[in-house]
Copies of this chain bind each other. A is one copy, B any other.
Amino acid sequence: MLLNDGVRIDGRAPGHLRPVTIERGWSKHAEGSVLIAFGDTKVFCTASFTEGVPRWRKGSGEGWVTAEYSMLPRSTNTRGDREAVRGRIGGRTHEISRLIGRSLRAVIDYKALGENTVVLDCDVLQADGGTRTAAITGAYVALADAIGWAQGKKLIKPGRKPLTGTVAAVSVGIVGGVPLLDLCYEEDVTAETDMNVVCTGDGRFVEVQGTAEGQPFAREELDGLLDLAVTGCTELGAAQREALDSTA
Please list the residues of chain A having a beta carbon within 8 angstroms of any beta carbon in chain B. 27-30, 33, 40, 44, 46, 48, 50, 68, 70, 72-79, 82-85, 87-95, 97-98, 102, 106, 119, 121, 123, 125-128, 165, 195, 199-200, 202-212, 215-219, 222, 226, 230
Contacts and interface: CB of A to CB of B under 8 A. Distances in A.
B205 A212 contact: yes
Given A44-B72, A94-B94, A27 B209 contact: no
Contacts of A90: 94
Contacts of A87: 87-88
A243 to B, nearest CB: 19
A77 B29 contact: yes
Give the number of copies in the complex: 6
A119 to B, nearest CB: 6
Contacts of A84: 70, 82-84, 88-89, 93
B208 A222 contact: yes
A180 B29 CA distance: 24
Nearest to A106: B212
B82 A70 contact: yes
B91 A97 contact: yes
Contacts of A123: 72, 123
Contacts of A95: 91, 94-95, 98
A91 B200 CA distance: 25
8 contacts: A48-B74, A48-B79, A68-B85, A70-B84, A79-B119, A79-B121, A91-B97, A202-B216
B106 A216 contact: yes
A78 B50 CA distance: 9
Contacts of A207: 209-212
Given A204-B218, A207-B210, A208-B208, A85 B89 contact: yes
Interface centre among A27, A91, A98 (most CB of B within 10 A): A91
B48 A121 contact: no
A219 B223 CA distance: 10
Contacts of A50: 78-79
B98 A91 contact: yes
